[in-house]
Structure 1
Amino acid sequence: MKRIATCAAALAAFTFPAMAEVESQDPIRLTTHDWTGQIVNTTILKNVLEKAGYNVELVQADYIAQFAGLKTGDLHVASEIWETTGREAMDEAVATGNVVNMGEGGMIAIEEWWYPSYMEERCPGLPNWEALQDCAGEFATSETAPLGRYLGGPVTWGGFDEERVEALGLDFEVVHAGTDAALFAELESAYQREAPIVLWLYSPHWAPAKYEGKYVEFPPYSKECYEDPSHGVNPDAAYDCGKPTGPIWKVAWSGVEEKWPGAAEIIRDYTLTNEEMGAMVSAVDLDGKSIDDVAAEWMASNEAKVDGWIN
């Protein structure tokens, strides 16, 4: 799903003439994180803003910790805050008045525990989460035995997996992949060998289409489940439910709308679909194309849409 990549400051073979006079040539700093899709998304937004005449910089930042910079104005725009993992941090930041929710980014997020279909023979009862307790040993590794292993995403992604394991009394140890590339490399290796694995998988991404499998069905998410231990299957613990699903949001430092009002309007209008993102991540991760090339191809294929956002 997500892999660390470095984006060039501008596309060498793709120039964007200014469409109109802009309010300020101070750089608008867009944050990038450690997964391919987010960097693709942010690179396209950068290209759109540059075509409108704005000066734009990409700044690598931690997914959750970025909100400190967005509150102070050291960072300006984040293109992907996932309902599944970032909603609490986003709401806290917006409540300060220093960060603004810029609306939905067009994509719908799913992030949850996932297993290959071949594991259903070894763990009857899946996708029900309670089956994991009955056959945790089927997912054990030499490092976690007798506990099963759940391969989580990089720790910076959040997701409350440790809390979920404890709240539901699962005999699993959460082991975090260092990068999204490592996460999916391990999935590919296990899938080819039909080795035991349950891991963090998400959409929009190419993996749910490439691999046959299912998401684990935990007790349904509710806000109360995350906030009030008395709600849910365990009356003594929060996070005893699945992860939320929902929009992927855009957020910005509150000063963006005053300093760059034209850019703020573009950012609010800017959207991508799950299908578009899945295809672009596949082009990068599976076909070996560069992020800059994929972003430039999208710009060339969506010229009318881009001009509509600008004008």
Structure 2
Amino acid sequence: MKFPWLKSLAAAAVAALALTGCTVGESSEKLDNGDEKVVDVAVFAGWDEGVAASHLWKTVLEEKGYTVNLHEADPAAVYTGLANGDYDVVLDTWLPITHASYIEKYGDKIIDLGAWNDEAKLTIAVNEDAPIDSLEELAANADKFGNKIYGIEAGAGLTKVTEEEVIPQYGLDKMEYAISSTPAMLTELKAKTKAGENVVVTLWRPHWAYDEFPIKDLEDPKGALGGAESIHSYAAGDFETTHPQLAGWLKGFKMDSETLYSLENVMFNENESEDYAPVVKDWIAENQEYVDGLTK
């Protein structure tokens, strides 16, 4: 090679691209509709509504020639990644409460593609036949629930709200708050409802657990958990330029809770594998009219 430094420069560029998960030319390849072929979707680990929606869109888009990469991460990493352009979109932003701090911090670098579900709510749930109906009754009856509240991931907005608002407002500081993971919480919920035992868990709507287990929400007269929320799609700041067609589709995306429950059920409840592709394809075949409308 006449100029060996050029070879070194090229190698360095390839290495830099490799660190970001891209290959040379991949990010610039476009489809006939003007969108970049590759879509990097961030997914909150354990947030089943976002996992379900992301896998649905992955299947729909791959049938149209896109390459869709799903990246599991906690909310802090997701919003940092969106702001930096490491991810293209996340489908699970809860507003106006749960993820408000991230939008306040990164809002000038990311864009809101709109809400696709407006029936979201953070909850504290118990077994349906529990002897109480309100969070105001929980402290006095803590021993009936093993003095324990089963929570989800440490970085979740629900965990923060429970720690900072629910526990102090309702005097639950003497109960053990077991912060672990969504799968661990659901395992406890399944085992205790099956055994006919009382149980308290942090949960949220929409979630397939409400269809699967005999549970009810505890009333929240102090409003510690906040009101109803909407689930939004948020994207990197240049998304409407890099993926104009997909941006339009996501702006029109709507999914009510009943439709979401049915998808979540086949993915997480009726399916014993973590390979969601076959069951999502089957669900699409049974809901073809709805799915076809996603990309019109």
Work out whether the TM-score is over 0.5.
Answer: yes
Call closer, same or farther: CA 1:202–1:76 in 2, change over 3 Å. Answer: same
- Over 3 Å counting, the alpha-carbon distance change for 1:127 and 1:74 in structure 2 is same
Q: Which amino acid aligns with 1:189?
A: A
The equivalent residue for 1:98 is: 109
2:249 counterpart (266, 283, 286): 266
Residue 174 of structure 1 corresponds to 177
Alignment length (residue pairs): 260
Unaligned ranges ≥5, structure 2: 1-29
Q: Which residue of 1 aligns with 2:128?
A: 117
Partners of 2:212 and 2:58 lie apart in 1 by: 30
Q: Distance in 2 between matches of 1:209 and 1:302?
A: 19
Q: Provide the TM-score with structure 1 as the length reference.
A: 0.75
Given that 1:67 and 1:93 are in contact with CA atoms closer than 8 Å, whether structure 2 keeps it comes out as no
Deviation at 1:136, TM superposition (A): 1.9
Which amino acid in structure 1 is aligned with residue 135 of structure 2?
W
Q: TM-score, normalised by structure 2?
A: 0.78
| Cα distance change on mapping 1:270 and 1:50 into 2, 3 Å | farther
Q: Distance in 2 between matches of 1:129 and 1:86?
A: 20
The alpha-carbon distance between structure 1 residues 77 and 132, as it changes in their structure 2 partners (threshold 3 A), is same
1:142-221 equivalences under 5 Å are 148-159=147-158, 160-163=161-164, 164-170=166-172, 171-176=174-179, 178-221=180-223
**CA shift in 2, pair 1:172/1:108, >3 Å:** same
Paired amino acid for 1:156: G
* CA spacing shift, 1:19–1:275, aligned 2, 3 Å: farther
Paired AA for residue 30 in structure 1: V
Residue aligning to 2:88 = 76
Q: 1:38 and 1:23 mapped to 2: Cα distance? A: 23
> Are 2:236 and 1:253 equivalent residues in the alignment?
yes
User: Per-residue CA shift, 1:22-76, capped at 9, x if unaligned?
Assistant: 3333x22101232343222101112333344333221121134311111111111
Q: CA separation in 1, counterparts of 2:221 and 2:231?
A: 22
Report the alpha carbon displacement of residue 100 of structure 1 after superposing the two structures with TM: 0.9
- The answer for the alignment partner of 1:279 in structure 2 is 262
Identity %: 22
- SS in structure 2 of the partner of residue 118 of structure 1: coil
Distance (Å, rounded) in 1 between the aligned partners of 2:96 and 2:268: 23
**Aligned partners of 1:20 and 1:52 also within 8 Å:** no
Contiguous gaps of at least 5 residues in structure 1: 1-17, 121-125, 141-147, 222-240
Q: Is the 2:142–2:175 contact (alpha carbons within 8 Å) kept by the matching residues of 1?
A: yes
Choose between structure 1 and 2: higher helix proportion: 2
Task: Output the CA distance in 2 between the equivalents of 1:309 and 1:20.
Answer: 18
Q: CA deviation at 1:242?
A: 2.6
SS of corresponding position for 1:252:
strand
Deviation at 1:115, TM superposition (A): 0.8
Name the amino acid aligned to 1:38.
G
Query: Residues 112, 244 of structure 1: CA spacing in aligned structure 2 closer, same or farther, 3 A cutoff?
Result: same
Which of 1 and 2 has greater Rg?
2
Q: 1:53 to 1:186 in 2, by over 3 A?
A: same
CA separation of 1:152/1:278 partners in 2, compared to 1, >3 Å: closer, same or farther? same
The more displaced of 181-190 and 164-173 is 164-173
In the other structure, the counterpart of 2:133 is 127
> Partners of 1:218 and 1:153 in 2: how far apart?
19
Question: How has the CA–CA distance of structure 1 residues 24 and 133 changed in structure 2, closer, same or farther, with 3 Å as cutoff?
Answer: closer
Q: Look up the equivalent residue of 1:162 and give its one-letter code.
A: E
Sort the Cα spacing of 1:217 and 1:309 in 2 relative to 1 into closer, same or farther, 3 A. Answer: closer
How far is the alpha carbon of 1:156 from its aligned partner? 2.4
Moved more, 184-193 or 55-64: 55-64
Residue 219 of structure 1: SS of its match in structure 2? coil
Letter aligned with residue 66 of structure 2: Y
- Supply the RMSD in Å over aligned alpha carbons: 2.5
Quick one: distance in 2 between partners of 1:197 and 1:89? 31
CA distance in 1, matches of 2:242, 2:143: 57
Q: How far did 1:271 drift?
A: 2.6
Q: Quick one: structure 1 residues 63 and 263, their matched pair in 2 at CA, closer, same or farther if it must change by over 3 Å?
A: same
CA 1:193 to 1:75, structure 2 compared with 1: closer, same or farther past 3 Å?
A: same
